[in-house]
Chains A and B, each alone.
Chain A
Amino acid sequence: MPARLLLPLFLVPALLVNLATFLAPMLNLAMLSFREGMPGGSIGTMFTWATWQDVLTDPYYAELVLWSVALSLFITVLTLLCAYPIALFVHRAPERWRNLLMVACISPLLVSAVVRTYGWLVILGEHGVVASALQALGIAPPRMIFNTTGVVIGLVEILMPYMVLSLLAGFGRLHASLEEAASSLGAPPLVVFRRVVLPLTLPGILLGCLLAFVLSVSSFITPKLLGGGRVFLLATEIYDQAIVTLNWPVAAALSMLVLVIFGLALLLYGRAVRAVE
């Protein structure tokens, strides 16, 4: 047989893995949200809107979704504020320093989320680094883990490398000469930042915010460990419904909601990018 006809077969293994682990399971998940969860983990066989009705009308879920989105937006803004100076510094650094700084920014990405979250338990815990420093200063340390504060601090740190990378990818148009030109014409530093630096770096900011928001909405390990089971978010609720309560249809419907939130975020991002250009 001529080799040319055999070539499409090269794609078959990859497509088979994709079908078995992605396409079929995702379609099945979407269909499952139209079944009914019975007590004890069994699943109804009939098509029903009941699960969606439940998820969309129960104030508990509405609050959960709004709270997850609001907290993720807050975390995204904080991450941007923490990552922007770093990205600007790395972008302006001389060539030989830049590689080292980049490695410092990227290396946390290569460490498991469990390890980094554990690191925050060491720092923020009851007898942790921050608490003992505050005590030495004579200040009673506030509770910093097993609440929203801990989750926010941990997630901001975990998302920072993604934000720095996105910002740097969008900083290509920012040249030192432009800033120098503006300030030599008499613009004070804040005006230079607002009128020159910020507009030029806006594409990077948008990309970084999209990524941080999407990762924050779907984050699971950090809210679970730093929240100590007391911080309820969409992703942790999906896990609890799937593994603890064994209500797969509700878990499936909540998963679809996460995908809808992803889609909306992408849509907004696309609009914002077009508005900028």
Chain B
Amino acid sequence: MGRLAFTLLVLVLFAFLLAPVILVFPMSFSADRVLAWPPSGFSLRWYGAMFTEPGLMEAAWNSLVLGCVVTVLSLLVATPAALMLARRRFAGRDAVMALLTAPLLLPTIVLGLAMLIVFVSYGLVGSWPGLVLAHLLLTLPYALRVLSTALSTLPATVEEAAASLGAPPGAVFRRITLPLMLPGVVATCAIVFLVSFDEVVVSLFIVGPRLVTLPVALYRYVESRTDPLVAAVSSVLVLLTLCVVLVLDRAIGLRRAVGK
């Protein structure tokens, strides 16, 4: 096989990989009432329809608020745990880490079902606390991993030096550890927000008639109708994701963030 043939093959495969994300952009400007290629004309009608489709803007707002709340709570819960796991040697440390990251290894459909059944008896289904808890389960493993990786690459000696000069533990954390691990914190925020904002399977189990997230609303829309409206929403979402990724790349570099 020649070098040229191989390059061509790779190009075709890249096109296959990126096609669904790229093609929603031209489709979002379609003037047609149904999904048809090529569009008979171009217009902004579907971008306008985003604002008039009942429930869609509310779902988007819910997802935005949920993503922010989950991000803040993930940081508050994961940072002390990451400090403990990265800085102290204690019995059962590996077991605790395994337990806290285990949800990442299990299928979300099973996790969603398990939570639904327990949440029903506590009235948490279709409620904000229920959704926040369910998302925390999925975001905490990411937050823990990224934060403890960030911490383990920091030399502990700087903290020890500050402590030996008489700084109280709180001041060491605030003045030394936190500024040094800031790129890790920014990366955690970006990843946790994206995981929460895009999460759909677990949310499908936990949402209620009066509390729906954007991915669930889109899923239900696509399940019942196929028109270019979702293409318009998707285009906006892809651009928003790109912004978050750029922040992430600036903070620590994309390869490191997604790698380990």
Q: What 1/0 flags go to B92-120 for Cβ under 8 Å of A?
A: 00001001101101111111011111100
Query: For the complex, is A109 an interface residue (Cβ under 8 Å from B)?
Result: yes
B interface, by DSSP: helix, strand, loop or mixed? helix
Query: For the complex, is B4 an interface residue (Cβ under 8 Å from A)?
Result: no
Question: Which of A218-248 touch B at CB < 8 Å?
Answer: 218, 220-221, 224-225, 235, 238-239, 242-243, 248
Whether A102 touches B110, Cβ cut-off 8 Å, given contacts A7-B84, A11-B80, A121-B35, is: no
B59 — which chain A residues lie within 8 A by C-beta? Answer: none
A interface, by DSSP: helix, strand, loop or mixed? helix
Q: Is the CB of B80 within 8 A of A82?
A: no
| Nearest chain B CB to A137 CB, angstrom units | 14
Question: Which of A98-137 touch B at CB < 8 Å?
Answer: 99, 102-123, 125, 127-129, 131-132
Q: Contact partner of A217 among B107, B205, B215, CB < 8 A?
A: B107
Most chain B Cβ neighbours within 10 Å, of A18, A115, A116, A235? A115
B201 — which chain A residues lie within 8 A by C-beta? Answer: 220-221
Q: Is the CB of B109 within 8 A of A218?
A: yes
A207 — which chain B residues lie within 8 A by C-beta? Answer: none
* A-binding residues in B (CB < 8 A): 1, 6-7, 9-10, 13-14, 16-21, 23-24, 27, 34-38, 76-78, 80-81, 83-85, 88, 90, 96, 99-100, 102-103, 105-111, 113-118, 133-134, 136-137, 140, 144, 169, 194, 198, 200-201, 204-205, 215, 218-219, 222-223, 226, 230-231, 234, 237-238, 241-242, 244-245, 254-255, 258-259
| Nearest 6 Cβ contacts at the A-B interface | A119-B20, A218-B107, A10-B80, A25-B114, A21-B137, A127-B36
User: Could you pull out 29 A-B pairs where Cβ atoms are within 8 angstroms?
Assistant: A10-B81, A14-B80, A22-B102, A22-B103, A25-B117, A26-B111, A29-B110, A29-B117, A89-B7, A102-B254, A104-B17, A106-B254, A108-B18, A114-B219, A118-B20, A118-B218, A118-B230, A121-B222, A122-B20, A122-B24, A122-B35, A123-B19, A131-B37, A132-B38, A218-B107, A220-B109, A220-B201, A239-B113, A258-B110
